[in-house]
A and B are shown apart, each in its own frame.
Chain A
Amino acid sequence: MSARRIVLTSGKGGVGKTTTTANLGAALAKRGHRVVLVDADIGLRNLDLVLGVEKRIVFDLVEVVEGRCQLRQALIKDKRFETLAILPAAQTRDKTAVSEIQFAKVIEELAETCDYVLIDCPAGIEHGFRNAIAGAAEAIVVTTPEVSAIRDADRVIGKLRERGLPFQLVVNRIRPEMVRTGDMLSIDDVREILGGEVLGIVPDDEEIIDTTNRGEPVVLTPDSRLAVIYEKIARRLEGEAVPLTVLSAPGFLSRLFGQRKAG
């Protein structure tokens, strides 16, 4: 049976597509699924960096498309998760190096060998975006509760609807204390404005910066509330009805001493 082919997109850059792709992929692999992560951001690749495999890149997506290597030669097997592999993007080219048809073909080939193909889409709605969605059958729209991000997500959702691609939302970097004081849009606001189902809510958490620096998916960190959240997102993606985590604002003492409590 062919894999589920999911593109993670947003329109706006920097809202956490790559982080979500990496961590959701790792969470799915941890649950035993065979997962391939594809970096579609040709020219500005980062999925490799976030997963800490940047030194192991031998071949990349463009070389596969140009027939200079086999697909399996370009796939990097993750050392921490048996069933996780990454197909990196090229760094010294740009997105026009690959056509939609070529990209879709690579994804199709990958889909024969695994359970999930997660495609990390670049920012924007141009060539790179069109390539990324060409390979996909469904989408996860990643956004933050900020005006620019939501506006861009709306635009992307319009494009997805044009293509008939179903989507779900992941709302990233929410700050419950700011939502409470009315300084940040809430999940309900985001849901109302964009439409669609919420697949997951991820709080703003410094931990991500540290784990990205080290090239370690956060699901590897013991006692991490983010790890729990990504695992829940994975379960929801599988179809399980997992209630959304209620995020509370940190208490007085933890705020004073700068700690963040698990929500």
Chain B
Amino acid sequence: MIDFFKKIFKPEGSSTTARERLRLVLLSDHLSLAPDVVESLKLDLIAVISKYVEVDEAACDVTFERQDSAIAMLANIPILAMKTRPPSPPPAPSAPPPAPEPPPSFGTPATAKVAEEPAAAKPPSAPRRKRRRRRPAVAASLGSAAPAPG
């Protein structure tokens, strides 16, 4: 029913396709990564988070945002439920698998800011939107809903 109204008030024409394609292309342009690498990055990110919590994959959204001269990647990953049995801690890291050969010349390098977020202490009662932002080594608990920048 909602979809029906959506179609009335916001026609789904080729402009929707254009918007989506532009988003991917610009993300790829900004990160200087080939589009399929960007896709893999998104999927890997979702897969990693899925190990700890159940996510609504269809509603996952990964975008980018310019912050001055840096680029931050923003992931919006709706959580459906906590996993009843969280995975055991990973073994000590050995040599990482070889990354796919990256295309040349990075423009403005994306500042890779990675945050380690501990698993939540209590399960949420309703699906919650979790915004995961890459930040310099600041541990943020899942409970605090960090506001989006800008």
A binds B: yes
A interface residue numbers (CB < 8 A to B): 147, 150-151, 154-155, 158, 161-162, 179-186, 189, 193, 195
CA distance A180 to B13 in the complex (A): 9
In the complex, the answer to whether A193 meets B22 with C-beta atoms within 8 Å is yes
Given contacts A147-B18, A161-B69, contact A181 B13 (CB under 8 A): yes
Q: Per-residue 0/1 for B105-118: is the Cβ within 8 Å of any A Cβ (1 yes, 0 no)?
A: 00110000000000
B11: min CB distance to chain A, Å:
4
In the complex, the answer to whether B15 meets A150 with C-beta atoms within 8 Å is no
In the complex, the answer to whether B107 meets A158 with C-beta atoms within 8 Å is yes
In the complex, the answer to whether A186 meets B15 with C-beta atoms within 8 Å is yes
> Is B14 at the interface (CB under 8 A from chain A)?
yes
A154: contacting residue among B13, B15, B26, CB under 8 A: B26
In the complex, the answer to whether B14 meets A182 with C-beta atoms within 8 Å is yes
In the complex, the answer to whether B66 meets A182 with C-beta atoms within 8 Å is no
In the complex, the answer to whether A150 meets B13 with C-beta atoms within 8 Å is no
Q: What residues of A have a CB within 8 angstroms of the CB of B19 in the complex?
A: 185, 189, 193
In the complex, the answer to whether A147 meets B21 with C-beta atoms within 8 Å is yes
In the complex, the answer to whether A180 meets B29 with C-beta atoms within 8 Å is no
Main SS at interface, chain B? helix
Main SS at interface, chain A? helix
Q: What residues of A have a CB within 8 angstroms of the CB of B12 in the complex?
A: 182
CA distance A158 to B32 in the complex (A): 13
Q: What residues of B have a CB within 8 angstroms of the CB of A180 in the complex?
A: 11
B25: contacting residue among A151, A162, A183, A189, CB under 8 A: A151
**A185 — nearest CB in chain B belongs to which residue?**
B15
Q: Restricting to B38-77, which residues have a CB under 8 Å from any CB of A?
A: 66, 69
> Is B128 at the interface (CB under 8 A from chain A)?
no
> Is B141 at the interface (CB under 8 A from chain A)?
no
A158: min CB distance to chain B, Å:
7
Q: Could you jot down 6 A-B contacts, CB within 8 Å?
A: A179-B15, A181-B11, A182-B12, A184-B15, A185-B18, A193-B22
Most chain B beta-carbon contacts within 10 A, residue among A158, A162, A184, A193:
A158
Q: What residues of A have a CB within 8 angstroms of the CB of B18 in the complex?
A: 147, 185
Top 3 nearest A-B pairs (CB, nearest first) are A182-B13, A182-B11, A183-B13
Q: What residues of B have a CB within 8 angstroms of the CB of A158 in the complex?
A: 30, 107-108
B10: min CB distance to chain A, Å:
8
CA distance A155 to B69 in the complex (A): 14
In the complex, the answer to whether A193 meets B26 with C-beta atoms within 8 Å is yes
> Is B23 at the interface (CB under 8 A from chain A)?
yes
A189: min CB distance to chain B, Å:
6
CA distance A181 to B13 in the complex (A): 7
Q: What residues of A have a CB within 8 angstroms of the CB of B66 in the complex?
A: 161, 195
Q: What residues of A have a CB within 8 angstroms of the CB of B10 in the complex?
A: 182
In the complex, the answer to whether A162 meets B69 with C-beta atoms within 8 Å is yes
Given contacts A162-B69, A162-B108, contact A189 B29 (CB under 8 A): no
A179: min CB distance to chain B, Å:
7
Q: What residues of B have a CB within 8 angstroms of the CB of A155 in the complex?
A: 29
In the complex, the answer to whether B29 meets A154 with C-beta atoms within 8 Å is yes
**A183 — nearest CB in chain B belongs to which residue?**
B13
CA distance A154 to B30 in the complex (A): 9
**B26 — nearest CB in chain A belongs to which residue?**
A154
CA distance A198 to B11 in the complex (A): 24
CA distance A181 to B15 in the complex (A): 9
Q: What residues of B have a CB within 8 angstroms of the CB of A185 in the complex?
A: 15, 18-19
